[in-house]
Amino acid sequence: MVVQLYLDLLSQPCRSVFIFAKINNIPFKLEFMNLCNGDQFTEEYAKVNLLRKVPALKDEDFTLAESVAILLYLSRKYNTPDHWYPSDLQKRARVDEYLSWQHTSVRPNAGVLLWMKVMIPKNFNISCPAEKIDTAVETLNDTLKEFESKFLQDKAFIAGEEISIADLVAYSELMQAFFVDINIFEGRPKLAAWRQRVESKIDQDILDEAHKSIRNANQRIIEPAVAEAYKTRLLKFIR
């Protein structure tokens, strides 16, 4: 029986899992989750993930939450090529280092701009103040400097000369900002070259499929009940 992956590709963690499974020809059944419709709040989904978040994995009776855990599970279950999660102790440590760091740096700093520039104005008819967006972009720029100086340095990829799970996660995170018209690659030749190297390892059809939701984020409408549930948390972005 193939694994079931519960994904909404508007979500960066979901895109990294989707791309990883596709590029490694991992057989899976896509269980589409529409976060804007509140699919994550159903009792049926709670049986898969009590955290009521995506992504989630179901492998027969085994369920798993959190994108990093899912990526590592898939790499081990399907014995994906070693470069994704290297057996070399120090290269693996570099992957782990990035995966530990990104949760409080790249991921939130890139992700917040989708809500500020698209989802909140579209669904709450409120424009985020320009100074708030500028501050978020400045914070992201500081994070990108750290990413280049600490994690990329003069290497082709985060763990060395081959692509790894860390690069795939970083790429999915940074494209979240890029697709809401924040050109994070302009004036950063090192970062732009890294992006090209990552994309050269992935079929364009997979990238197009993975990015369709984020490209069309302005068409996603949050259901009123879901909007009300998230209103207090989302509106803090504009205060």
Residues 149 and 225 in one domain: yes
* Residue that is last in its domain, among 50, 81, 112: 81
Whether 2 shows a pLDDT value over 70: the answer reads yes
pLDDT at 229 over 90: no
For 71-83, what is the mean pLDDT?
A: 98
56: exposed, middle or buried (C-beta count within 10 Å: 0-12, 13-18, 19+)?
A: buried
Same domain for 42 and 106?
no
d(CA 190, CA 155): 10
Residues 72 and 172 in one domain: no
Distances 14 to 42, 88, 98, 159, 221 between C-alpha atoms, Å: 19, 27, 18, 22, 19
Share of the chain above pLDDT 70, in %: 98
Please tell me the pTM assigned to this model. 0.95
CATH number at residue 17: 3.40.30.10
Distances (CA, A) of 154 to 143, 165, 167, 178, 191: 17, 19, 14, 23, 11
Residues 48, 159 within the same domain:
no
Note the pLDDT tens digit of each residue in 26-38. Answer: 999 999 999 999 9
Q: Residue 238: is its pLDDT beyond 70? A: no
Long-range contacts from 88-93, C-beta under 8 angstroms, 24+ separation: 91/159, 91/160, 91/164, 92/159
Same domain, 210 and 99: yes
Q: Which domain holds residue 102?
A: 89-238
Which segment of 16-20, 120-124, 211-215 scores lowest on mean pLDDT?
120-124
Q: What is the predicted pLDDT for the residue at 230?
A: 76
Same domain, 59 and 105: no
> Final residue of a domain: which of 27, 52, 81?
81
Confidence of residue 233 (pLDDT cuts 50, 70, 90): confident
- How many folded domains does the chain comprise? 2
pLDDT of 124 reads: 83
32, 129: one domain:
no
Domain match, 73 and 99 both: no
Q: Give pLDDT, residue 237.
A: 63
Sign of CA dihedral 16, 19, 23, 29: positive
What Cα–Cα distance (Å) separates residue 64 from each residue in 19, 51, 67, 106, 159?
18, 10, 9, 23, 26
pLDDT band of residue 50 (cuts 50, 70, 90) is very high
The 10s digit of each residue's pLDDT in 123-133 is: 888 888 899 99
pLDDT higher for 225 or 83? 83
Are 97 and 49 members of one domain? no
Flag whether pLDDT at 227 surpasses 90. no
Looking at the fold, whether 156 and 194 belong to one and the same domain comes out as yes
pLDDT at 239: 65
Same structural domain, 165 and 208: yes
Residues 87-120 pLDDT 10s: 999 999 999 999 999 999 999 999 999 999 999 8
Predicted pLDDT of residue 14: 98
CATH for 179 = 1.20.1050.10
Among 81, 115, 134, give the residue marking a domain's end.
81
- Cα(18)–Cα(191) distance, integer angstroms: 23
Residues 58 and 33: their CA atoms lie apart, in Å, by 14
Instruction: Give exposure, 9-29, as e/b (b: 16+ Cβ within 10 Å).
Output: bbbbbbbbbbbbbbbeebebe
